[in-house]
Each structure stands twice: as C-alpha cells, then as structure tokens.
Amino acid sequence: RPRVLSGIQPTAESFHLGNYLGAVRNWVALQDTHDAFYCVVDLHAITSGHDPALLRRRTRASAAQLLAAGLDPERCTLFVQSQVPEHAQLGWVMGCITGFGEASRMTQFKDKSQKQGADRSSVGLFTYPILQAADILLYQADAVPVGEDQRQHLELTRDLAQRFNTTFGATFTMPAPYIIKETAKITDLQEPTAKMSKSASTASGLIELLEDPAKAAKKIKSAVTDTGREIIFDQAAKPGVSNLLTIYSALTGRSIDDLVAAYDGKGYGDLKKDLAEVVVEFMRPIQQRTNTYLEDPAQLDKLLAIGAEKARTVAGATLKTVYDRIGFLAPG
C-alpha cells in the first residue's frame, strides 16, 4: 500500500470548513487505500506565541474532531507530533541542508510574519516548513493530502529530499502533493479571494465545525456575494458565489452544474438559505461525536499514545538510517 502523511495545527479550538473540505475529508477517504499517518502538529502550533492550557485543550479537540470526522485508529495511525521526538530530531538535520535564501522564499512565512511584524516573528515560524518536510519524510510518504496553500511547502520538501538523497545516498521517498482541485482553497466568507484560515480569518469569515449552528447559518446568509444577481460559477468574476457553490457541492455531492441549473432564475438569498441548512445538517453530527470523545480525555490520550507508539516504529527506523548516513556514531 502506498503511504500518506498529513497534519493539522491545533491553533484553534475548532477546525473550519476549509480544513475539513480541503484536507480532513480526503484523509478519511485515503484510510481505505493507503497506509495512512495523520498527526496533530503541536510543534507547529507554538511558532506564533501560545497559551499552554489552551494548547492542551486544542490538541485534544483537534484529535476529537479528526475522530468525529471519520478517522479510525484501527485503519490509520493518529498521533500527536510532540510525542514522536524524531520529528524535531530530523527537523534539525533538514534545517542544516536548507539554504537561508531558500527558506526566505516561503510565501506563507512572508504573509504571517508581515501580519505579526517582522521583528516579532519567531525563528520557529521561519523554519516551520523545514520541520514540515521532516514530518513528511520520516514516514517515507508517497503522497501528502493538503490544501492549495501547502503546495510551496511540499515543493521545498521534495527539494530537500532530493538534495539529501543525492548527497548522502537514497534515503527518502519522494512525496507527491495530493490536492483535490475543487476544494483546495475554500475562501473566507467576508473576503472571498483570501483563504479561510484559523489564524487569519475574522469570525464572520469563518465557519467553524464546532460553533453554534445558528451562528454558522447566519454567517452563510451574510456572506459577501458579488455584484449582479446571477448564480453562476466564475471564480474570477464571482468569487463569493463560487465559494458558496463549491461548499454546497462538496457537502452534498451535487455537481456545480447541477446546482447552477437548479438555481437558475433564483436569487443569492435562496442559495444562501439552502446552503445554511446544508451546513447546519453537516455540523450537528460532527459536534455530537466530537463532544463524546472529549467527555473522556483519558481514553483519548490513551488512543493517541498508542498512535504515537505506532508512528515511532516507522519514524525511528528512518531517523536511524539518516543518522548513520550523515556520519553520526551509533549509540552503544
């Protein structure tokens, strides 16, 4: 079986629709065809300042949402990144073969650091794509299911894998991005050309899986739509309406063409009203299941510890090879 690896940051209590449609939904599907490794990447979540108690909560909430969305610990390996120390260890090695200029070209760093003020950005935020490369390469992943915003980081991962393999001998599998075009960039409801984001979107631009469904419905109904009144799919001219159609199609399985035909002659209000209902119907069972997992944190922690142990057998083997190839002495 080919292998997949992906991760999600516990930077908020709740995932948003973009996380679900762009990534998590595909993770669930890939469990059946791939040897799948999925992690809550808490090391990445401390790159922009954080509160320890909140991080602990969000890490559990993230794991619970992944289970609620359909990850099955019997069919995949679900773990928390910090419980597998090989990530940080390989991260250091990969950092040593990354050029400073190369790392400086990452657009996500530029965006995020610009928002924080360059002087206040941490070195961790700067090197995060390198740690991400380590996350992927440790598992010899063939494919990495992510949203469009991660494409550049994956390119870096491939460059680093290639460089290591050429310099020290074939070690890493070359990972390919697994990006489903239709749902690769769900956009902010208030700013429909920007991606929906846990850290960058305003509350009204974001549909959070765990939020009050009535609030989510309201947000859909007040989403920014475009001039004109026709309901057509045109991401350049009508990014707002196109985003709503994308979400509608993804959650119901109806094609965009089918939806466009169904709303012919109707108004934006009709589309929003129906979509709000679809979103609410989708959220309710996820919320119920998430809460059930969160009611028993000890059980959740146990399940994650088992996942970490499984992950470590693979990660440990890769790191051992890497340490040997680069000339570190084997421990006694």
Binding positions for L-tryptophan: 135
Residue 103 CB, nearest distance to ligand ATP (Å)?
17
Q: In the stretch 73-112, what mask flags binding to ligand ATP with x, by CB under 6 A?
A: ----------------------------------------
Spell out a b/e string for 41-51, using b for 16 or more CB atoms within 10 Å of the CB, else e. bbbbbbbbeee
Q: In the stretch 166-185, what mask flags binding to ligand ATP with x, by CB under 6 A?
A: ------------------xx
C-beta of residue 46 within 8 angstroms of C-beta of residue 1: no
Q: Give the Å distances, CA to CA, from 328 to 319, 324, 331.
A: 11, 6, 9
Residues in region 197-216 near ligand ATP by CB under 6 A? 197-200
Among 91, 147, 175, 307, binds ligand ATP (CB under 6 A): 147
The residue with its CB nearest to ligand ATP is: 22
Among 150, 173, 243, 318, binds ligand ATP (CB under 6 A): 150
Can you read off the two tokens belonging to residue 157?
A: 């991962």
- Using the rule CB under 6 A, is 23 a contact of ligand ATP? yes
- Residues 310 and 292: their CA atoms lie apart, in Å, by 24
Among 5, 39, 76, 196, binds ligand ATP (CB under 6 A): 196
Q: What residues line the site for ligand ATP (CB under 6 A)?
A: 8-9, 11, 18-19, 22-23, 146-147, 149-150, 184-186, 195-200
